[in-house]
Amino acid sequence: MSDYNTLLKELGLDVALHDEMIKATDRLFQETVGAQKNRPKEMAYFDRVLAEAHGARVAELVEEKRNGKRIVGTFCIYVPEELALAANTVPIALCGGIQASIPYAERMFPRDICPLVKSTLGLAFSKTCPYAPIKSLAVGETTCDAKKKTWEILAGKVNFHVMEVPQKKEKLDFDLWREAVDDFRRKLEDLSGTKVDSGRLAETIRIMNAKRRALQELAQLRQAEVVPISGVDALVVMQAALNDEPVRFTEAVKRLNQELRERIKNGISVAPGAKRIMMAGCPAVMGNWKVHALVERSGGVIVWDESCTGSRYFEHLVDETAQDLDGQITAIAERYFKISCACFTPNQERIDAIVRRAQEFNVKGVVQYVLQTCHGYNIEAMRVEAALKGIGVPALKVVTDYSEEDTEQLRTRIEAFIEQLA
């Protein structure tokens, strides 16, 4: 990483503070991801993506920018990546998963908001986010209150666009959402000076669908009785998905899948005898491996991850049969409208999907992962738990932040939960 310090300095970053934060994140990575035994060899690629997220990937994006592309920062998986790619821009997720940046956000923002939002803001405010100075546009959405109100503040400081994500899934809401998708297209066109044409959009839809298919296959491989990859490693893959160039990433996932197929064939499990667990709830973005690692060190192995750094990111494909731009925009809107974030009401599809996957993946228990002050996932956890009870699968709700203060307390609760599972 130090090779890139000159570049980071040129971008106006506080290099000394940045180094400190990277060291803290590296330590956590080594203690959680790196400390695992029997990792698939192909994981080396994804480890590198994470290690280079503030190095080689930044240099790559700076080069893209020099070549005329605009960088678009995003904060949510409702933002259609195929549209951004088709408009000759590069979308990149800006969500923060580290504790070290949070105090910088708390100097300005209330303490009692979600750690994901605070970590993201703290990275920007402390001049340690390399993407902040190179992005030409940030795209927020009307999902939760913490985000909506944050965008109002940020919009006064940087070029900002807010996508209207409705809160219900009726026809009226879909029409609004489709318009929001089309409005985003126009915004991107203004930014890049490139008209989105149907031919290029068909190509970027195929690129994103190929990425989703590869991730769907990876998820499916975790259904095997011989679990070929840990939940922590599967999370690393998803964290890389939000940062890496999509075509290169897809090829790496295919190579990993091939290795996992071999492992299953040869009976190589990462956790023989461990209890099969589903994680459900909030996303765990880059820098955050805390609860996944605790679950897998307490006798569990995660076989399904129902989150935005899990199935919500790759489930459902965009219909590739639309012939013109209008039809393609509708197809994109339809695919993203199927994502079941807890910001929707009611959100029965999410609950049904959790129950279905718990059965398909022979899950013995579900850990509901809730980031502090995330009311949507916290309250919805009651309905999820009740539905799981109906099929005899116990659930444990874990409400936490990014700090390490509650680690021992969580360990005790998670160990006790996993121990009593059938």
Binding residues for ligand SF4, per CB under 6 A?
A: 76-78, 114, 116-117, 143-144, 146-147, 282-283, 308, 339, 341, 343, 371, 374, 376-377
Minimum distance from residue 114 beta carbon to ligand SF4 (Å): 3
Minimum distance from residue 413 beta carbon to ligand SF4 (Å): 20
Sequence-separated (6 or more) residues with CB below 8 Å from residue 90: 61, 64, 69, 70, 71, 72, 84
Name the residue nearer to ligand SF4 (CB basis): 45 or 314: 314
Minimum distance from residue 119 beta carbon to ligand SF4 (Å): 10
Minimum distance from residue 339 beta carbon to ligand SF4 (Å): 6
Name the residue nearer to ligand SF4 (CB basis): 78 or 337: 78
315-322, long-range: CB < 8 A, 24+ apart: 315/212, 315/216, 315/339, 315/353, 316/212, 317/209, 317/212, 317/213, 318/82, 318/205, 318/208, 318/209, 320/202, 320/205, 320/206, 320/209
Q: To which residue do tokens 């509708």 refer? A: 330
Name the residue nearer to ligand SF4 (CB basis): 255 or 316: 316
Name the residue nearer to ligand SF4 (CB basis): 4 or 313: 313
- For residue 316, the tally of other CB atoms under 10 A from its CB is 16
Sign of CA dihedral 322, 327, 333, 338: negative
The closest alpha carbon to 281, from 232, 358, 359, 350, belongs to 350
Question: How far does CA 8 lie from the centroid of its chain?
Answer: 25
Minimum distance from residue 350 beta carbon to ligand SF4 (Å): 10
Minimum distance from residue 109 beta carbon to ligand SF4 (Å): 13
- Tokens standing for 117? 């939002």
Minimum distance from residue 375 beta carbon to ligand SF4 (Å): 7
3-state helix, strand, coil in the chain (%, to 5): 55, 10, 35
Name the residue nearer to ligand SF4 (CB basis): 295 or 374: 374
Name the residue nearer to ligand SF4 (CB basis): 29 or 78: 78
Name the residue nearer to ligand SF4 (CB basis): 192 or 400: 400
Question: How far does CA 261 lie from the centroid of its chain?
Answer: 25
Any idea what DSSP says for residue 69? P
